[in-house]
Structure formats: structure tokens, C-alpha cells
Amino acid sequence: MTNSPELPQLFEDDINLNGLFDILNPENNLVLADDMMLSDAEGVILWVSENYEKNFGFAHGSIVGKSAFDLEQDGTFNPCITAEVLRQKKKITTTQTINRVHKNVMTVGIPLFDKAGALKYAVCFNTVSMEQINVIQQNYRNLQNSLQQYTQEIAELRIRATSTSIVVKSAAMQRLWTLIQNTANTKANILITGETGVGKSAIAKAIHNMSSRANGPFIEVNCAVLHENLIESELFGYEKGAFTGAASGGKIGKIELANHGTLFLDEIGELPHHIQSKLLQLIQEKTIERLSGTRRIELDFRLLVATNRNLEEEVQRGLFRSDLFYRLNVIRIHIPPLRQRPEDILPLAHQFLERFCGEYGKQLALSPRFVAFLEQYPWPGNVRQLENLMERLVITAQDPILDVTALPVEFTGGDTPLPAPTGTLAERMDAFEGQIIRDSYRRCGTTVAVAKELGISQATAARKIAKYVKMP
């Protein structure tokens, strides 16, 4: 239609446009395309937008003047929303198939009445097509997958950036790491609990390094090793002449050294009662007074504490102040013992092996029997015990493959826990090679990464993985 009138000129003056304005209201959150069709009350198409014709393969002006009912009958539209609006005399929103181009399109049809209530026109808008909706949904899913992948990679990078001693393979440690990420950059006091050797100090350092105070000092104090007579001066500092033997110029205490950084008090349960009172006052006021001092010093630090004791029981027994406990226990981070997270044992062992081999200039691998021992041993001393064992074995190793025969007597009870390996040299080397490949593939996950770690070609890595790794 070369001289088709503009849409507003098609409506008579007495037409009620409330329905049209209502559908165009932004509050409806309806995404309307530039595809539009107008018909009269008899179904004769009066006007079609040029975008409508282009998008759905109609020649310019080819359906203007035709009946919407006829176009429905011959299958051009299925169903024809214009025809449905005229039949039902109400707004309709549904999917319409335009068979000329085999597209499914969400369409909104609106009846327009005159002031006397007589039906005069039907206006149809196309919204976003179903194909577009599917594409949008797929793109959204792809973005979600990418976001999840990037989130995991960022978490791994944060781990590497904060503390190389933290392994989060097990579900328990993954939950713990999520809690750390969510709380590291807050001001809340954190109580870290767990058995001796589980890595409470490493967690505290990670929290500090992930916080906005990372560029400030990290001051760690083991309350268990401080002499009871000196603990107050060590923590709070003193002015000159405070006591016999005091430094002539006085001394800044550990708490003051942590200003603008993080103060980590390990073994907090060992603090004497009178120091607990002073610590409570410090938490409440964030000021200290040195021994023999006369002025209050304002401080800004984050407080982290740790203990292997059950402080709730200590409170009930009167050994630990309840008000101090509640001040410290704002956020509780409990580190499970190593025996309860066996998935972390082997990654930790490899981590320690790599570190100590670097320190002592050696290249060592673990035998299959040694790996089995690591995974089955109960580790009463937790991560610290595993770390100490790996350092000791790297130092004393005589063979390139660490085996159970090299274990100290305290781990074997004086007897070798497993018989010496049997078979020909080729069979033994094949067993060791298989374990090396499986360990590397378990850590790296791809042939490219395994090849890079072991210094072999990708083709060789792929062949050996196929030989030694049992795929699910």
C-alpha cells in the first residue's frame, strides 16, 4: 500500500483508546515489537506495519484489504489473533503461528470500541518471538554456567593468593571456604575452633589476606606460650620504668602493633581471668592503656581468635568469662579434623611434597602403597602431622619413590605395614608409573595439564591416561 495512512489517522474520533493505551503502559513490562496489524470490525485488514511485512515474508501491501478470517481459513495464520479478538471481543495474548515463515510469535490482540460500545477495530502487536525467547533462555543458561565457572576459578585464585596450605577439595572445607569468603571483609570478631594441627593459623591468615586490611599488619599471638607474669606486658605494652627489667624506653604491645590490621590470638582459652577482663574492655572500647601509662590509645584492628578447647564448657566451669565468649563468638568457623575429610589428604600430601622437594632440591613421587597408607591413616595430629611427615621423608629419602618402607617407626609400630613390592623391575616400574599418572590426572583433570606437569607430550599423556585411569 503505497499511500497507506499513518496509524493514528485510521481511528475515528469517537474510538475509546483506553485498551490500547493500557497495553502500551510501561508498567505492564511487555516487550512489543514493531510488528503491528489493524483490521476493522468485519475483519478486513486496514493497515500492516512495514516491519511486519518484512519479518514474516509478505509483499508490501499484499494482505491489506484481505479478510483476517480468510487468512485464518487458508492457514496463513494459525490461529489468527485478529479473528479471535473479533469473535471474543476481548483482549487475547497467545502464540500465533505464521506459516509463511514457520515462526511462532507471541501476539497481543486488543479490541477497540466506540463510545456507544460497538466494536470498531482489532489491533494486534507481536511481542518477542518464541524463537527469540528460546535464544534468550539459552543465553541466560550459558551466562549462568559461565558465572558459576568463573566464580569457582576466582575462589581457587583467592585460595592461591591467600594461603597455599589451604585445600578445599572436601565438601566440608568448601562450605567453610564459602563462609570465609562471606565474612572475611566484615568487622565481626571470628572464633576459629578445631583440634590441634587442623590449620587454624592458616585460616586466620587467609581471612586477613582476603580482607580490606590485607595491606596492614597481621599480628599472631600464641597465648599458650606466654608466661603468666609477662602476658599483660606482651599484649598491652608498657611505659619506661613499669617494672624491674623493663626496657628503658618502654615497649609497644602486640595489640598496639596490630593497629590498622588484624590481631590473631591463638589458644585464647589459655588466657588468665584478669587478662580476659582487660580483653573484654579492649573489644568494647577499642582503646588500651600501657602498663604504668596514663593515656588511652585508640586502636583500629580486626580481632580473630582460635582455640582447641570447648569454650562453652569452660564458661560453665567458670574458667572463661561468658561475656567475653559471646563477644568473641560472633562468627564461628569450625575446622573439621583431617580424618573427617579424607578427600583433602592426598592433595595436601602432594602440596607438601612439592614444597619440600623445592626447598631441598629433590624430585620425588609417591608409591601406590604410600598413597593407600596416607588415605587410611587416622592422622591424630591432623594437617600439621602430615606436613611434618612429608618434610621428614623428603629430607631422609634415599629413593626417588616414597614408599611405606620409609615411614618412621611411630607410624608403623616397628613393623612395615605392607609387604615389600613383588614382581619384575618392569612390573614394579609400571605400577609406579600408573600411580603417578593417576595422581596427576586426579589433580589436573586434563591431558594438557598432565602433560605440562609431568614434562611429556599431550599425546603421551593421553595414551598413558587411557592405559592407567579407569574412566566412569
Q: Which residue has the cell 616414597?
A: 402
Q: What is the mean pLDDT of residues 159-177?
A: 76
Q: Tens of pLDDT along 88-123?
A: 999 888 888 887 667 777 888 889 888 888 898 998
Is the pLDDT confidence value at 7 over 60?
no
* 3-class state of residue 13 by DSSP: coil
Mean pLDDT is lowest, of 3-17, 359-373, 444-458, for 3-17
Q: What is the mean pLDDT of residues 298-325?
A: 94
Q: What is the pLDDT of residue 125?
A: 84
Tell me the CB-side half-sphere exposure of residue 135, using CA atoms within 13 A.
5
Q: What is the mean pLDDT of residues 243-249?
A: 55
What backbone torsions phi and psi does residue 14 show, to the nearest 5 degrees?
A: -95, 15
Q: Tens of pLDDT along 373-432?
A: 998 888 988 999 999 999 999 999 888 999 888 888 878 764 444 444 556 767 777 777
Tell me the CB-side half-sphere exposure of residue 243, using CA atoms within 13 A.
10
Distances, alpha carbon 364 to alpha carbons 105, 368, 389, 436, 445, in Å: 65, 13, 14, 10, 21
Q: Which residue has the cell 613390592?
A: 421
Q: Tens of pLDDT along 320-370?
A: 999 999 999 999 999 999 999 999 999 999 999 999 999 999 999 999 889
Q: What is the pLDDT of residue 418?
A: 42
SS3 content of the chain, % helix, strand, coil (to 5): 45, 20, 35
Rounded distance, CA 55 to CA 103, Å? 10
Is the pLDDT confidence value at 126 over 70?
yes
Task: Indicate the angle between helix axes 171-183 and 200-210, nearest 10 degrees.
Answer: 40
Confidence class for position 12, pLDDT limits 50, 70, 90: low
Q: What is the pLDDT of residue 410?
A: 79
What lies within 8 Å, CB to CB, of 325 at 6+ separation is 311, 312, 314, 315
Residue pair 45/38 in contact by the 8 Å Cβ criterion:
yes
Q: What is the pLDDT of residue 459?
A: 81
Total count of residues recorded for the chain: 472
pTM over 0.75: no
Q: Which residue has the cell 496509524?
A: 7
pLDDT, mean over the chain? 82
Is the pLDDT confidence value at 294 over 50?
yes
Rounded distance, CA 132 to CA 190, Å? 49
